[in-house]
Structure 1
Amino acid sequence: MNTTFEKYLDAIDKCLKPLPTSERVDIVKEIKGSILEMESENLSTEQILTRLGKPKDLAKAYLGDLLAKENGFSWNRFLTVCAFYSLVGFSGLFVIPVLVIVAPTFILCGVASAVLGIIKLVDYLLHLNIPYVDYIGFQFGNTALSPIPVFILSLITGIILFLLGRGAWKLLITYCKGISKTKNNLSI
């Protein structure tokens, strides 16, 4: 048996950690026997690995069969479910509302900042004297910037705010997908 198969069996063993050691050893021996049998049929390493599939999927199949046999109450399963939903509940109270508010707010502020900078520049260049445009700008202490630096800074600020909002939105989606994936992988 070559090192590829040893690594494969180690990966399966790691995926079967929820099981007691004796059951894990039996499963690994059974898979090893299947590998040796396929080697005796002169199948290549790639063909054997293709037939067996990914270690994680094979381990899930074994875990699913064994968990389906257990119909009784288990404290371990109960505590796992309680811990998962407690963690998701408490983190969801903070993470989801903050990201739902922050993401669109930053995106809208980023767009508004860029648009207002453009309006200020157009008003200055074309001498339109649009009402309230004089209030658009950046001020550092007693120094107020002229319209061209205001335009540049408003574009930079707009881009930064837009990217922060987009990042917060992606983080929200990643968080929700991660929770969903964890729930699906949770063996109850």
Structure 2
Amino acid sequence: MNQSLEKYLTAVDRHLKPLPVSERADIVKEIKSTMLELESEQMSSKQILDRLGNPKDLAKAYLKDLLVKEKRCSVKRFLILWAFYTAAGFSGMIVIPVLAVIAPVFLLCAIAAPVLGAVKMFDYLLNLQIPFIQNMQIVFYGIIDLNPVAEFFCSAFFGILLFFLGRGAWKLLLLYLEKLSHTKKNLS
């Protein structure tokens, strides 16, 4: 069997991923035996590939055939699907919106905090007297009143902290969606 036929079998196997390994192996063996029969009838590899068609279409045909034959409608399966969609729905109403709002807000604040701290520090150092900037300040429980240079370093620290919080919230959102999608694929 030549290399083009092997590539075809690999492509069919790749498109049969939703099936268990044993069923995929059986289907690939069946296609391989068909190829060997056609080779014994003196058909070229190009003619064999033309006769079999697109590997993706062939794999879809096998998948559809197995879905029609398969009768997995049980109470247990129904309860598992019901539990998954209920949990995904209720958690999705809270988790996705909260993380989708928190992540960009924290990232924007991570940029704004050091920028405003730098503007206040330059206003203080150059005595520019920019309106509203002099009223901005970081106060720790009304006990410690910092000068603008120290406020800049505090705002830079808070900017870094907010950046990591925003980045973490974004990664958590992507991880949640990925796990949800993976679980749904496993249930289907």
TM-score, normalised by the number of residues in structure 2? 0.62
Check 1:58–1:173 CA distance in 2 against 1; reply closer, same or farther (3 A cut).
Answer: closer
Check if 1:181 corresponds to 2:176: no
1:81 CA drift (Å): 1.0
1:1-188 matches, within 5 Å, as: 60-62=20-22, 68=67, 69-71=69-71, 73-140=73-140, 141-187=142-188
Residue deviations 1:54-75 (CA, integer Å, cap 9, x gap): xxx798234789x744325211
Q: What percentage of residue pairs aligned between the two structures are identical?
A: 48
User: Matched residues in 1 for 2:167 and 2:138: separation?
Assistant: 24
- Tell me the alpha carbon deviations over residues 74-122 of structure 1, each in whole angstroms, 9 at most, x when there is no partner: 1122111111101101111110111011111111112111110010111
CA RMSD of the aligned region, Å? 2.4
Shift, 1:131, TM fit: 0.8
Query: Which secondary structure state, in structure 2, belongs to the residue aligned with residue 118 of structure 1?
Result: helix
Whole-angstrom CA distance in 2 between matches of 1:172 and 1:134: 38
Stretches of structure 2 that go unaligned for 5 or more consecutive residues are 1-16, 25-62
The one-letter code of the counterpart of 1:100 is A
Per-residue CA deviation, residues 26-79 of structure 1 (Å, 9 max, x unaligned), is xxxxxxxxxxxxxxxxxxxxxxxxxxxxxxx798234789x7443252112211
Tell me the distance in 1 between the aligned counterparts of 2:185 and 2:22. Answer: 16
Evaluate the alpha carbon distance shift between residue 167 and residue 173 of structure 1 in structure 2; reply closer, same or farther with a 3 A threshold.
Answer: same
Summarize the Cα distance change of 1:63–1:172 in structure 2 as closer, same or farther, 3 Å threshold.
farther
Query: 1:4 maps to which residue?
Result: none
**Secondary structure at 1:167 match in 2:** helix
The TM-score, its normalising length taken from structure 1, stands at 0.62
Matched with 1:51 is none
> For residues 128-182 of structure 1, what are the alpha-carbon distances to aligned partners after superposition, in whole Å with 9 as ceiling and x for unaligned?
1111111222113243110111000000011101110111011101111111111
Query: Separation in 2 of the partners of 1:183 and 1:109?
Result: 35
- Opposite residue 157 of structure 2, the aligned amino acid is I
2:124 and 2:88 map into 1 onto residues whose CA distance is 52
